[in-house]
Amino acid sequence: MPSKKRRRKEERPKIHPKNKYSDNPPDFALLASLYPTFKPFVFYTREGRPRIDWTDFNATRELTRVLLLHDHNLHWWIPHGQLCPTVPNRSNYIHWIEDLLSSHIIPRDNTDGGNVRGFDIGTGANCIYPLLGASLLGWSFVASDMTDVAIEWAERNVKNNPNISELIEIRKVKCSQNTLSPEGLSGESSYSEEREGLPSSSLDISASEDKSYYGPAILVDVVRDGETFDFCMCNPPFFESFEEAGLNPKTSCGGTYEEMVCPGGEKAFITRIIEDSVVLKQSFRWYTSMVGRKVNLKFLVSKLREVGVTVVKTTEFVQGKTFRWGLAWSFVPPAKKIVTPHVTEKNILSFMLEGIQRQFGAIHVLQSVESFFLAGGASCKLNASSFVVDITASADHCNALLNNDVKYIDEVASCSNVQEAPSNLCFRILVFQQIPGTLLVKGSLQHRDSALSGFHLLFS
């Protein structure tokens, strides 16, 4: 029998079900036969399996190029050393956003006829997210970056795909005199080969002492007055130093200093996005970012609670042996909606409540349940320590509640030891807080001879 740990690992979703590669991983042999430029990078194991050398930048870049061409009809290139994206992994993030936008957690905005507009923070030379989002789903994008090389190549990659070029605007983030580039200069720095071999700069040292972000603007001062977006996304510079960035010698996906490193690392970068979101509030329906470390995810989720967002969502992306997390939040008031109701002829029923504002926890819902039933004349016993309320309701009480004909009946409210008539309906409601904003409400009939249909009607 597999161990618990192994089972948990096996259960982890590796790839989003909508991802083009979820059932059909890239076929290197087929691609090599179709694309002569890819062929030299493919070799075969003793068992005859086609492989590429993941430590060879040219091989990974050519794989990305042919996958984008073959599967997405996209023409794409990046100069040597720039961060080379893996297409299946990047597609997962796009599909997660697609899920967020189509979920009912926050109300949909139909003002733009269903057109979806996103903002890609730090699009890189590869411009991968706008290219995928536009070609797969017809989304439009503003894609920002701060380096000249990223802007130049992102623009080229957009221009070389005229069928979607109208959908993507590349926007350069201005670097003021007092925002620091990794060189401590004005931020106009572009990648220099020399820097790659350097030990961490003095800025890295100061960054590890002071974890706050002090780079160029991210959203505030980049988003224009009156602009609105359905979402923003970001694959942030994850690391605080170049050494930290180069920890995985088994792959060569490139990545320049500016792409991989920022003062304070991802924690500081995403904290700034959160701070910007507090200013921009509902200019975005969803704010999202990738997070590279679970410890940072926890910190960022608690930061989000502090600033009073209405919804927080997280997900896990498994990329080979690497784990990344997706973090999403919103300031849009949630649509309170009951999902996954299980209304069957059972004496235990449950449903989930999603999108509850963070200040309302299980106890508040429990108190509302109590008030609701008290108002209908039923008797209630609330146990705050076990998050349970026991309810006894007569047929009249049930009718009053179902017909919305409720009034507060003080004598019943104050009486917790009502003698139960045989026809009374006795049931227990439990409320569990699973993650902030999501509650599981469970109702169970306490006596089998109680009226099952009344219970179903009241509970559902």
Binding-site sequence positions for S-adenosyl-L-methionine? 90, 122, 145, 235
The CA-CA-CA angle for residues 203, 204, 209, to 5°, reads 95
> Quick check: 458 binds ligand SAM (CB under 6 A)?
no
Alpha-carbon span 123 to 145, nearest angstrom: 6
Q: Which stretch binds ligand SAM (CB under 6 A): 47-55, 125-133, 370-378, 431-439?
A: 125-133
Smallest distance, ligand SAM to C-beta of residue 290, A: 8
Amino acid letter, 43: F
**258, 276, 354, 370: which one contacts ligand SAM (CB under 6 A)?**
258
Residues 261-320 within binding reach of ligand SAM (CB under 6 A): 262
> Quick check: 128 binds ligand SAM (CB under 6 A)?
yes
Smallest distance, ligand SAM to C-beta of residue 171, A: 9
Residue 409: helix, strand or coil by DSSP? Answer: coil
From the number of C-beta atoms within 10 Å of its C-beta (0-12, 13-18, 19+), residue 56 rates as middle
**154 contact partners, CB below 8 Å, separation of at least 6:** 123, 124, 125, 126, 127, 130, 143, 145, 170
Alpha-carbon span 156 to 151, nearest angstrom: 9
Residues 23-82 within binding reach of ligand SAM (CB under 6 A): none
Alpha-carbon span 392 to 450, nearest angstrom: 10
Buried b (16+ CB within 10 A) or exposed e, 209-231: eeeebbbbbbbeebbeeeeebbb
**74, 146, 261, 425: which one contacts ligand SAM (CB under 6 A)?**
146
**135, 144, 277, 330: which one contacts ligand SAM (CB under 6 A)?**
144
Sheet bearing 438-445, strands edge to edge: 337-339, 348-354, 438-445, 425-435, 388-393, 379-383
HSE (side-chain half, CA atoms, 13 Å) at 279: 13
Is residue 156 within 8 A of residue 77, CB to CB? The reply is yes
Q: Which stretch binds ligand SAM (CB under 6 A): 256-264, 294-302, 331-339, 345-353?
A: 256-264
Residue 120: helix, strand or coil by DSSP? Answer: strand
Is residue 259 within 8 A of residue 237, CB to CB? The reply is yes
Smallest distance, ligand SAM to C-beta of residue 121, A: 5
> Quick check: 126 binds ligand SAM (CB under 6 A)?
yes
Smallest distance, ligand SAM to C-beta of residue 251, A: 13
Choose between 144 and 438: whose C-beta lies nearer to ligand SAM. 144
Q: Which of 341, 372, 335 is nearest to 355 (CA)?
A: 335
Choose between 144 and 392: whose C-beta lies nearer to ligand SAM. 144
How many chain residues are in contact with ligand SAM, going by CB under 6 A? Answer: 23
Choose between 135 and 144: whose C-beta lies nearer to ligand SAM. 144
> Quick check: 158 binds ligand SAM (CB under 6 A)?
no
Q: Which stretch binds ligand SAM (CB under 6 A): 35-43, 124-132, 382-390, 436-444?
A: 124-132
> Quick check: 437 binds ligand SAM (CB under 6 A)?
no
**78, 106, 218, 445: which one contacts ligand SAM (CB under 6 A)?**
218
Residues that bind ligand SAM (CB under 6 A): 83, 85, 121-124, 126, 128-129, 144-147, 150, 173, 215-216, 218, 235, 237, 258-259, 262
